Amino acid sequence: MYNICCWQARLVSNYDYLMYLNLAAGRSFCDLTQWPIMPWVLNDYKSSKLDFADPSIFRDLSKVHLVLSSVLESLHLRLYALLP
């Protein structure tokens, strides 16, 4: 609970908080099958400068990364429909 309060009060960086969550979940750098997970939040990797006030630079977090494009989404839905 202490780490959550520190993160909410901005006393701890996002990276440190995510590392805390990963370690609390049993993930570590010692085991390649349990490597820490860091979220992929940006959508724009081509611009030389990012305007963080522009919501289009962030990816749609309501979708998994496999269905971010319409082509991949339709492929994913077709494959999902084939599951028993």
Do 22 and 58 lie in one domain? The reply is: no
Instruction: Tell me how many domains the chain contains.
Output: 2
Does the model's pTM come out above 0.85?
A: no
Q: Which residues form the domain of 33? A: 1-38
Do 79 and 57 lie in one domain? The reply is: yes
Do 52 and 83 lie in one domain? The reply is: yes
Joined together, the tokens standing for residue 65 give 């990364």
Per-residue pLDDT at 75: 86
| Cβ atoms within 10 Å of 82's Cβ, excluding its own | 6
> Mean pLDDT over all residues of the chain?
87
Residue 62 confidence class, pLDDT cut points 50, 70, 90: confident
- The answer to whether 35 touches 27, Cβ cutoff 8 Å, is yes
Do 22 and 45 lie in one domain? The reply is: no
Q: Each residue of 12-38: pLDDT tens digit?
A: 999 999 999 999 999 988 888 888 988
Per-residue pLDDT at 1: 74
Q: Where are the alpha helices (DSSP H) in the chain?
A: 2-8, 14-24, 70-81
